[in-house]
Amino acid sequence: MKKGKEWIKGLWKEHPVFRMLLGMCPTLAVTTSVINAIFMGVAVIFVLFFSSLIVSLIRKLVPPQVRIAVYTVIIASFVTIVDIYFKANFPQMSKALGPYVPLIIVNCIILGRCEAFASKNRLIPSLIDALSIGIGFFWGLVVLGAIREILGTGRVLGIKILSASYYNPMVVMILPAGAFLVLGGLVAIMNKLEGR
């Protein structure tokens, strides 16, 4: 049980965005809307899951001197697959996310989990860890995206939440500054909840 808890800490206790403050570049840049956040989150879950799978499987075969290079090649491959898939099936989203999909390659969450967890653990724990961190990242982005989209445009996923009759959208929220404001607020709330 104790071990199991260790594996799913990414969902809350060691949340990658709000507790560890990892992967800030996509977090701040693509969360202008919920739909962007969803696509980014799914892409990261996919890459994290499959990279952890491969890295965990080959962990005994890879000599330590070349491990980072090997992990990077593996991660880059899965990122490219996601990029090609988005380009082929969701061209609009691919355009909206721009360079941030290819940039998942250098997302420290993924290399971090491969290096810190998947390369030292068996397959099943590695997969659970990857999923928990991935889902944690996903909900982090979606919450951030939702708050920014509601405050910045008054709508979520194209559905009107706040009517223009009583709410004047705060454009700053969908600008970069808004990302920092919302992220700061959420990190503060997380810290308060965790009692630190």
Distance CA 187, CA 185 (A): 6
Query: Does 69 contact another protein by CB under 8 A?
Result: yes
Among 179, 190, 186, CA closest to 148: 179
Among 4, 15, 13, CA closest to 142: 15
Q: Among 1, 63, 166, 192, which residue interacts with another protein (rule: CB under 8 A)?
A: 63
Of 126 and 132, CB closest to another protein: 126
Binding mask 80-119 for another protein (x = CB under 8 A): xx--xx-xxx-x------xxx-------------------
Residue 43 contacts residue 101 (beta carbons within 8 Å): yes
Part in contact with another protein (CB under 8 A); list of ranges 79-87, 119-127, 142-150, 165-173: 79-87
Of 61 and 159, CB closest to another protein: 61
As a 3-state breakdown, the chain gives helix, strand, coil percent values, each rounded to 5, of 75, 0, 25
Q: How far is CA 195 from CA 181, 188, 189, in A?
A: 21, 11, 10
Query: Does 164 contact another protein by CB under 8 A?
Result: no
Q: Which residue ranges make up the site for another protein (CB under 8 A)?
A: 29, 61-63, 65-66, 69-70, 73-74, 76-77, 80-81, 84-85, 87-89, 91, 98-100, 176
